[in-house]
Amino acid sequence: MRDAFEREIDYLRVSLTDLCNYRCKYCMKEGGVEKKSHADMLTLEEVFDVISAFKSLGGKKVRFTGGEPLVRKGAVSLIERVGRELDVEIGLTTNGVYLPENIDRLKDVVSLVNVSIDTLDKDKYRFVTMGGNLDDALAGLKAARDNVKNVKVNAVLMRGINDESVKEFADFANSMGVTLRFIELMPFAENNAYAQYGISATEIIERYGLRHVETIGNAEYYAFADGKKVGFIRPLSNKFCKDCNRLRLTSDGKLLPCLHGEGEIDVKPYLKDGNVQEALLQAVASKPFCHNIDSGKMQTRKMNYIGG
């Protein structure tokens, strides 16, 4: 599938739930989210049907996200089914807490695991996640590393939380044999975390005197003087929309052409009519060329709803 700007759209990010066992400060409010009714949510069978239609149109990669995807009952069974029945590359983004108990079922179907860990300081980790235990996340990271060929740590770049420990984080990732990537915190209309914690990756690159090594997808990799590498995903300071190849499916059945756009297509009527391909094609056709955060147009949805 190609959009109006001749980009090949072959990557689908699937949010299985907007619920999570954490309450990260940049993602949701301390009280959590208002739980949607069962009727509002796509069934796992419907999620499979959307993925299957995406594959039939040339889709190559699917990544399961949340909230925390593994809190949804039946999530692992769905991921296994996609791995058995559809020839797509499967990724998973998780906070790691539920990986140890599920890795034996996931390891044969998931080839890409991103574990979200924003800091290696236990107190700061508890603060950012509003109660999380760093040891649980690290146990999940180890389970992934020992069983999956491609494992990354995703850390949201936050002033006062992890910007002073980038080198220590890079040393840790190197010792674990995993890839570390810092993601710029993005402003959302209903979450002012950016005003308090936002910091440009450019500032970090200059502060540490990092040397650019390579760019892979939307991640730029830099090296310290000792050769240790760290990646940066920079949607604000180095906009990479021109190479965007993805759509997003929310847990309540909305196809989002752009992470920071307001457009959406409700897939539910198309599921009833058995014509999910048409919904996907409409989403591809409506993809904007780029987000407009730099022009002050911020996403009104919450991050946990979108799935990142």
pTM of the model: 0.93
Distances (CA, A) of 29 to 25, 56, 69: 7, 38, 18
Sign of CA dihedral 291, 249, 152, 169: positive
- What is the pLDDT, as a whole number, of residue 240? 82
Residues contacting 205, CB < 8 A, separation 6+? 222, 232
**Residue-level pLDDT at 301:** 58
What is the distance between the alpha carbons of residues 18 and 11, in angstroms, rounded to a whole number? 20
Question: What pLDDT is attached to residue 117?
Answer: 98
* Location of structure tokens 């310290």: 224
Contact 98, 140 (CB under 8 A): yes
What is the fold, at CATH topology level, of the domain defined by 11-306?
A: TIM Barrel (3.20.20)
For residue 225, what pLDDT is reported? 97
| Cα 194 from Cα 73, distance rounded (Å) | 32
For residue 261 the two structure tokens come to 């756009």
Whether residue 253 contacts residue 14, with contact meaning beta carbons closer than 8 Å, is answered with no
Pairing of strands 219-223, 265-266: unpaired
Structure tokens at 71: 């809190």
- CA-closest candidate to residue 29, choices 305, 308, 293: 305
Farthest CA pair distance, the chain:
58
Mean pLDDT for each consecutive 10-residue tract of the chain (308 residues)? 96 96 83 65 98 98 97 98 98 98 98 98 97 98 97 98 98 98 83 86 97 96 97 88 93 92 91 97 94 62 59
Q: What is the torsional sign of CA 176, 181, 182, 188?
A: negative
> How far is it, in rounded angstroms, from Cα 28 to Cα 40?
20
pLDDT score recorded for residue 262: 77
Contact 23, 72 (CB under 8 A): no
| C-alpha distances out from residue 108 to 15, 39, 69, 304, Å | 21, 32, 18, 27
In three-state form (DSSP H/G/I as H, E/B as E, the rest C), the secondary structure along the chain is CECCCCCECCEEEEECCCCCCCCCCCCCCCCCCCCCCHHHCCCHHHHHHHHHHHHHCCCCEEEEECCCHHHCCCHHHHHHHHHHHCCCEEEEEECCCCHHHHHHHHCCCCCEEEEECCCCCHHHHHHHHCCCCHHHHHHHHHHHHHHCCEEEEEEEECCCCCCCCHHHHHHHHHHHCCEEEEEECCCECCECHHHHHCCCHHHHHHHHCCEEEEEECCEEEEECCCCCEEEEECCCCCCCHHHCCEEEECCCCEEECCCCCCCCEECHHHHHHCCHHHHHHHHHHCCCCCCCHHHCCCECCCHHHHCC
